[in-house]
Amino acid sequence: MTSRKKRIIGGVAAALVLAGVVAGSVIHDRKSKVPVQTQKAERRDLVSKVSASGEVKPKRFVNISANVSGRIVLLLVKEGESVRRGQVLAKIDSARIEAGTRQSEAGLATPLATLEAKAYRLQVEIELAKSAGK
């Protein structure tokens, strides 16, 4: 092979490589471009439709809880209804709370009676001491 043929083959090979690089670049650019629709400019009504999904949330959210636990016997408001500060929302069965109160009072009765007996005994001892000292 002559050197002229080698140069021609090398030039053709270089041209093919260059053509491959250009073709690859063009294909890559086409993939990254956003397709655009065009029209002749004219006056007309604008119609647009937007749909979305989401969650509706209140401006202010408040957690409500009772100071005591129990069964609700009367519900005075409905879900979603507006309420004001201090408004009674529900009534709770008070039987369990009243029983606990009575039990606590009964538990205090014995120590209180013992204390009263000791106070009476001390008062008697003071009176006896006073009468003995005369």
| pLDDT tens-digit series, residues 53-105 | 988 888 887 787 777 777 888 899 998 888 888 888 888 887 777 888 888 88
Neighbours of 70 (CB within 10 A): 13
Q: Is the pLDDT of residue 134 over 70?
A: no
**Mean pLDDT (whole number) for 5-22:** 89
Cα angle value 98/101/106 (rounded, 5°): 125
Domain ranges of the chain: 1-31, 72-133
User: Tokens 């001892």 — which residue?
Assistant: 125
pLDDT of residue 37: 82
The string of DSSP codes covering 30-55 is: HHHSPP--------------------
